[in-house]
Amino acid sequence: MSGNEIGNEYAPVISECLRLNSAITSMDLSSNKIGNEGIQLISESLKFNSTITSINLAYNSVGMEGAQILLDCFQSNSTITTIDLSHNNLSKGMERLYSKLTERLSELDIVDVDFKKVEL
């Protein structure tokens, strides 16, 4: 589903798919212009999904609010082992986000939170 620029508009559909489908193990939602609102909906389903192990949210519009929502989700969902949040709007508070994600490093295989500018 990468590169479709679906935005927040189709986040409810993605969320519902995550709720109903127990066969999906990896989801690439990169380059879809998904913002904090969409992340909220997707995260609610991810909290209860026990099959997704990898999620790519690179090149979206996830800000620090969305990152906090995802952190809460990842703390509830221990099956997610690969997370890509690179190239999002995570400049402010990056240190806190990275710190929280690395607390789970023993459980996470890959954490990519690459960013362009940092204001710590």
Which candidate, 86, 79, 90, 81, places its Cα nearest to that of 36?
Answer: 90
At 59, the pLDDT band (50, 70, 90 cuts) reads: very high
In one-letter notation, the amino acid at residue 50 is S
Q: Is the pLDDT of residue 114 over 90?
A: no
Q: What Rg do the C-alpha atoms of the chain give, in angstroms?
A: 13
The tens digit of pLDDT for each residue in 18-35 reads 999 889 999 999 999 999
What angle (nearest 5°) sits at the alpha carbon of residue 27, between those of residues 22 and 33? 130
Query: 8-112 is classed in which CATH architecture?
Result: Alpha-Beta Horseshoe (3.80)
Question: pTM value?
Answer: 0.81
Q: Which residue has the tokens 């479709």?
A: 4
The tens digit of pLDDT for each residue in 89-100 reads 876 656 666 677
Position with higher pLDDT, 105 vs 32 = 32
